[in-house]
Structure 1
């Protein structure tokens, strides 16, 4: 890492994954920075209100300031206003976890969620909003990749990494590019992507792309996820029409979101101009 900003962001990104905080030495080791430099950065982030130290010589943890800024941005950009009613309705209908991811440059990021299961066995990670989606092992990632050529999909997977470097991954995550390409071909033929015991062990998910105004550029992906024992192939096939209908509804509603308008303008300036709300 070369710049002060890059080093600071590395610390922030690390602390996002550790809500109870980490020691200065642990942060330094994880980000491969000198302890003295990490301490100075943490002192500055603390002064600015982005991190806090629970007690003298204690761990450093994120404050609510940055998450609050993110939620405020989503609200003012119109993402939650547009998406949440659709997600809530699909969650109630399916009884499973619903997640919306949006494209941010070359990444896919989870931004909104709704839980339909109120009792019994359920999948509810509770910590994935704002997380970059791992493309090769997740249903949402494969849904996005399936909208591209194989060459473009492989380039994105190679840039991110075929294997997800995190605990709890499933045994069925694709471990070869050949297998991944076969799964993308199946997703195109079936009109939805699946990931069973892949992103997380014991979990199954299905996802479809969300296209601007129904048939425009891809803005993100919509998924249904739940325990693999319940999200069988037969149940996914039964849920597919409802998932696809919700994705179309989101694509139509995206016209009213400033954030989706901005994405659309970057992807297709002419089409965005033609389709802006009257």
Structure 2
């Protein structure tokens, strides 16, 4: 990968050094970025002069100083995690032209915690009634996406235990049994993302991908795109899937902090059954 422009090249070099406690030799940085050795050396020299990089002895490898960490901590001190996620969500909303939402897991439930509307005119979907509420796991793309990243037995138990009041009429594709939900979870697990058409709400389609902590592998939430079914068709979902995938990858960089913020947020009233109902039918 050849980074274009001085700033881009400098940022690419810094990215190469992230997580490298023992440092990285100049040759490896040069090869990884597809840059000439001389150009790589000049960039490293500039970053060293500015205090972002230092050279380890006796290896000669280059490593990051604490200056970047300090800048990050200063920024975090004045920002909420959902605030940090906002620019990424805004970009996806503009690309998709639909409603984008971030959900986070709080123990055994999901909550929508941030949203951005990408539709500027015409037919659009606004879900103010849902924002901040516990998410139905069985009928939403968000719920299915999150469940697909969990062990199957745990996922199905969570669905069976949730007693979710419906705040709007469900659609004709609403799942009628736990077997229906299980099939959707398996499909989402196989393809890496979930989709529903007129399931949780009549006339609305949605797609979502699970947000997973890259270090622990824990599923901490999901990112979804929802809109009128006439606009968010199967073909349109395929078109914007790369943008959704990129958004999830970027938010994965702050996944640990996102999970921490969710655990500090007061939970809505619990809406689970005292005992597991039959796995044959979803009780409604």
TM-score range, shorter chain: 0.5 to 0.7
Q: Which residue of 2 aligns with 1:233?
A: 234
1:202-251 Cα deviation digits (max 9, x unpaired): 00000001112477311110000010011111111111111011011011
Q: Any idea what SS the aligned residue of 2:102 has?
A: strand
Deviation at 1:129, TM superposition (A): 2.3
Q: Which residue of 1 aligns with 2:128?
A: 126
CA distance in 2, matches of 1:131, 1:77: 23
Q: Which residue of 2 aligns with 1:105?
A: 107
CA distance in 2, matches of 1:164, 1:139: 17
With a CA cutoff of 8 Å and minimum separation of 6, indicate the structure with the bigger relative contact order. Answer: 2
Q: Residue 151 in 1 paired to residue 153 in 2? A: yes
Aligned residues: 188
Tell me the TM-score normalised to structure 1 length: 0.62
Q: Any idea what SS the aligned residue of 1:140 has?
A: helix
Highest Rg: 1 or 2? 2
CA distance in 1, matches of 2:222, 2:258: 16
Q: Which residue of 2 aligns with 1:170?
A: 171
The 8 Å contact of residues 211 and 255 in structure 2, kept in 1 or not, is answered as no
CA distance in 2, matches of 1:77, 1:160: 33
In structure 1, runs of 5+ residues without a counterpart are 1-74, 264-278
Tell me the TM-score normalised to structure 2 length: 0.61
CA distance in 2, matches of 1:188, 1:196: 18
The 8 Å contact of residues 79 and 259 in structure 1, kept in 2 or not, is answered as no
* Structure (1 or 2) with the greater helix fraction: 1
Q: What RMSD in Å do the two structures reach over aligned CA positions?
A: 2.3
Q: Which residue of 2 aligns with 1:42?
A: none
Deviation at 1:166, TM superposition (A): 3.6
CA distance in 2, matches of 1:156, 1:191: 20
Deviating more after overlay: 202-211 vs 186-195: 186-195
1:127-155 Cα deviation digits (max 9, x unpaired): 32211000001000000111122211110
Q: Which residue of 2 aligns with 1:223?
A: 224
